[in-house]
């Protein structure tokens, strides 16, 4: 069953702690993305990666870090430097960046900082 | 940077009413256009997309959208809504040039009253 998996579904952390959100895809897509979704804000791009061992900052990268050591995996670390980390985080992958570009989304991880 | 504007943040309709959700974008060049839907507790999923050709595109669940280039618009329509259409709807525009060329609107929360 092909798709994108994110774990965990819900995550709680104490203020000042780093936490890593998992994203795995078996769609053989080159590009992967992390978005943050807040009520009334839509989806905002945190980081994206077009190929293994390469990634780029999105619109709101401050306080986040990523790695892309394998094509299937694109974990996101929310660091203690992120001032307002409580949010819903969505991972996505895309089939290509050409004229037929389309993204596929994971189920999301809801992070709550206590 | 381009922007995507969804005019209504909250829409409440009765079952069987007709629906039109507005989406306007600012980019003047060639674009790919998308509408995504997020049902309560579910993945973000693609409703429909426009790449080229017929500007009237049909998607899943009876939805359609019309690309009007002169108005920079891609409004979503459905002639008769159902209670199960209650969801968050996002318009997105891809202007090319890389993974950060995709911009989402802030979303419209649609509530259908039985």
Q: Does A82 touch chain B (CB under 8 A)?
A: no
User: Can you give the pLDDT at residue B99?
Assistant: 65
Nearest-angstrom CA–CA distance, B68 and A63: 39
Nearest-angstrom CA–CA distance, B12 and B106: 17
Each residue's pLDDT tens digit, A16-73 = 899 999 999 999 999 999 999 998 888 999 999 989 999 999 989 999 999 999 999 9
What are the φ and ψ backbone dihedral angles of B87, each rounded to 5 degrees?
Answer: 180, 180
- Residues of chain A contacting residue B47, judged by C-beta atoms under 8 Å apart: none
Each residue's pLDDT tens digit, B80-98 = 999 999 999 999 998 876 6
- Residues of chain B contacting residue A90, judged by C-beta atoms under 8 Å apart: 44
Nearest-angstrom CA–CA distance, B76 and B20: 5
Beta bridge partners of B43: none
Q: Does B90 touch chain A (CB under 8 A)?
A: yes
User: Can you give the pLDDT at residue A97?
Assistant: 62
- Region for A35 from its dihedrals, namely left if φ exceeds 0, alpha if ψ lies in -120 to 50, beta otherwise: beta
- Residues of chain A contacting residue B102, judged by C-beta atoms under 8 Å apart: 45, 101, 103
Nearest neighbour of A105 by CB, restricted to B43, B96, B107: B43
């Amino acid at each position: 069953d092909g798709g994108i998996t994110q774990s965990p579904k819900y995550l709680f952390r104490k203020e000042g702690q780093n936490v890593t959100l998992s994203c795995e895809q078996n769609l053989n897509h080159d590009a992967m993305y992390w978005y943050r979704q807040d009520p009334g804000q839509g989806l905002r791009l945190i980081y994206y990666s077009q190929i293994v061992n390469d990634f780029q900052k999105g619109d709101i990268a401050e306080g986040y870090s990523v790695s892309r050591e394998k094509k299937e995996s694109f974990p996101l670390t929310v660091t203690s430097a992120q001032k307002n980390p409580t949010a819903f985080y969505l991972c996505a992958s895309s089939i290509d960046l050409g004229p037929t570009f389309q993204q596929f989304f994971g189920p999301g991880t809801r992070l709550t900082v206590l | 940077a381009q922007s995507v504007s969804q005019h209504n943040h909250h829409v409440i309709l009765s079952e069987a009413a007709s629906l039109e959700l507005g989406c306007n974008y600012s980019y003047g060049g060639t674009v790919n256009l998308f509408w995504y839907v997020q049902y309560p507790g579910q993945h973000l999923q693609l409703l429909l997309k426009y790449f080229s050709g017929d500007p009237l595109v049909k998607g899943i669940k009876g939805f359609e959208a019309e690309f009007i280039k002169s108005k920079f618009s891609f409004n979503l329509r459905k002639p008769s809504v159902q209670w199960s259409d209650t969801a968050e709807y996002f318009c997105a525009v891809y202007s090319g040039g890389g993974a950060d060329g995709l911009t989402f609107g802030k979303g419209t929360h649609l509530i259908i009253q039985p």
